[in-house]
Amino acid sequence: MNMTLRIRGLKLIEDQADTGIPPEKGQLELRLETGSITVLMGPNGVGKTRLMEITAGLRNPSEDLDIHYGNERLWVRNYLRINQRNPKALLAYSYSCQSPEEQLFARSVEDELNYVLKPYEIETDEKKQRMEEALQAVGWDVSKLSRDPYRMSGGERRRTALACLFAAPAAWLLLDEPTAGLDAGGHAQLSAQLQKCAAAGQGVLLISHESDWALGIADSILLMQMDGRIRKCSREQILAHPEWLEQAGMTVPAWLQIAHALWKKGIPADQIWNPAVLALGIASASHRDDTRQDERFKEQVKKEPFTNSKLLVDDRSNFYKTRVPSSSPLASFDPRAVWLSYLLLSSFMLMQRSWSGIAIITALTGLIIIVGRIRLQRWRGPIITLSFFTIMMAIFAGFTAPGDGTLWNTQAFLISIRSLLKPWLAMLVGLGLPLAVTPLRLRRSLEQLFSRRGRVPVLGMKIILTITLLLRFVPVLLMEWERFSRVSIARGKVTRNNWRGNITRIRDIAIPFMLSLFRLGDNVANALESRGVSMSRNPTLMKGNNWRKRDSLLLAVIIVLCLLLWWWAFHSAV
């Protein structure tokens, strides 16, 4: 079956000198064939990982992008005309994210492999064979199947994750920075295995910043530029045009400059990619060259032009102009005023006991989000998850509450919805606080609030530390949940949007998420200890923020709103 990976909607670049085609043809489709290794390269922050996640169906693509694995479209519309992932397309790839060892959650290597193979519904004998081959691919044997991944070293956990990648009978392997944390032996072993997979007919698409390793095994290369354009080329073309790396916003490594100069001296490209053969070629060329040629070679290495600075600066300028979000007006206020306003407002929001009160605080929440320019898109996954949880809890209350001899109690359902909507709305407003008030600004303000004679007492430091840690890590925890949610789709291939699919996904996400919390806790403890937290009982107060008229005005407006909410809560209840 044809499993060509097709991505429509990308803007490709072709070079006129090599193909006779205008520099920008603006093709709408990128085609990658199985049986080959493609390396995606580009500067930091250009969006390589995002493109890989879109290719794996872990992020919703833009309207312009359309991805196919063979004849299977990655995103299809269901009977409600809503986009959803195509299970057949998800089975076409095996995915390894950055730090793949963090996605492990089972209690043995065998359980991890079984989890990855379960969606493919293969026979027991074939499953056993694939497990053995996957372990051999990372230098292990079947004796490792009973090992607990959480009692392994970091390198062993990474091998376990790579074994899970190779175990799946997928047409494509998608890898994001697979060599991170590997030693020289690990690099060589991974190279050999990827080339073996390509020779067996699998397609490989990988991201790597280690150009010397990646170009050595690449059949084709995708250079992603800062403006989103992509140049597809071969490694021989990179050898002939190293300036393409600088046009993409990257630095031309010294080894490639030397390799380019050797190629211009006549050493074949296939020798340059093989260090052992290259050494013999250099020795042979040096023996034939006279002193004049050696001097000309040295000058060539020094003077080789690898710059196209005007194009690079213009591209980066346009790229960042389209991606820098506007700041929230809340950032112009003192953090004490912002947080005190939020605490007051959320407290009075929770006092509402009628549907009219719920309607008022809903409108107020929408107004705050719009005026404060609070961007909720980044929290889309957690908001949907909590919304689903709220609805399920209300339905559960409707079924379990005693009624008038009936199975369903509508009154209990509505009471539960009304009670759960209040903290949900308060949460929406609170999600904007980390975007508007940085932990450092908040800590300085709280230190001023709790200070006595220029020093902060122990109790004040505990309160300050608790609040700032919550502010700092709530966004981190939400992002971790979203990350493991994407990983569960890539590994478990769970696509169902019904209650059973959601429960399965929560099970697959919760364990690695909780383990991630433990790792974060250890890192926080180490960071606090290294900064001397609790070493001084009364730390000296640093210079902080000044309370201004606008802060008093904000607090006054919030107090008025709170009084109105308080009046309405009691008035509507009468």
DSSP class per residue in 361-428: HHHHHHHHHHHTT---GGGHHHHHHHHHHHHHHHHHHHHHS--SS-S--HHHHHHHHHHHHHHHHHHH
Residues 7-30 have a mean pLDDT of 61
Residue 290 above 50 pLDDT? no
The domains of the chain are located at 1-92+171-251, 99-169, 253-305, 329-573
Q: Is 326 helix (H, G, I), strand (E, B) or coil?
A: coil
Biggest distance spanned by C-alpha atoms of the chain: 104
Q: For residue 63, name the pLDDT band (cuts at 50, 70, 90).
A: low
At 320 the pLDDT is: 33
Dig out the tokens for 439 from the structure.
Answer: 């932990």
At 67 the pLDDT is: 93
DSSP secondary-structure letter at 93?
E
More confident residue, 199 or 547: 199
Dig out the tokens for 513 from the structure.
Answer: 């998420």
More confident residue, 523 or 226: 226
At 218 the pLDDT is: 94
At 492 the pLDDT is: 82
At 41 the pLDDT is: 94
At 22 the pLDDT is: 44
At 482 the pLDDT is: 76
Query: Residue 59 CB: number of other CB atoms within 10 A?
Result: 15
At 547 the pLDDT is: 77
Q: Is 476 helix (H, G, I), strand (E, B) or coil?
A: helix
Residue 89 above 60 pLDDT? yes
At 52 the pLDDT is: 93
Q: For residue 38, name the pLDDT band (cuts at 50, 70, 90).
A: very high
Which of 62-76, 155-169, 503-517 shows the lowest per-residue confidence on average (mean pLDDT)?
503-517
Backbone angles phi, psi at 325, to 5 degrees: -75, 155
More confident residue, 140 or 489: 140
More confident residue, 23 or 105: 105
CB of 434 within 8 A of CB of 470?
A: no
Query: Residue 248 CB: number of other CB atoms within 10 A?
Result: 25
Q: At what angle do helices 355-371 and 410-430 cross, to 10 degrees?
A: 20
Residue 324 above 50 pLDDT? no
Give the whole-angstrom CA distance, residue 234 versus residue 239: 9
* SS3 labels along 13-43: ECCHHHHCCCCCCCCCEEEECCCCEEEEECC
Residue type, 4: T
Q: Which residues contact 537 (CB under 8 A, 6 or more apart)?
A: 458
At 284 the pLDDT is: 60
Residue 316 above 50 pLDDT? no
At 36 the pLDDT is: 95
Dig out the tokens for 524 from the structure.
Answer: 């926080």
Architecture in CATH of 1-92+171-251: 3-Layer(aba) Sandwich (3.40)
Q: Helices H, strands E: what count in the chain? A: 24, 13
Question: Among candidates 388, 380, 470, 485, which has minimal Cα distance to 428?
Answer: 380
At 317 the pLDDT is: 37
Give the whole-angstrom CA distance, residue 574 versus residue 572: 6
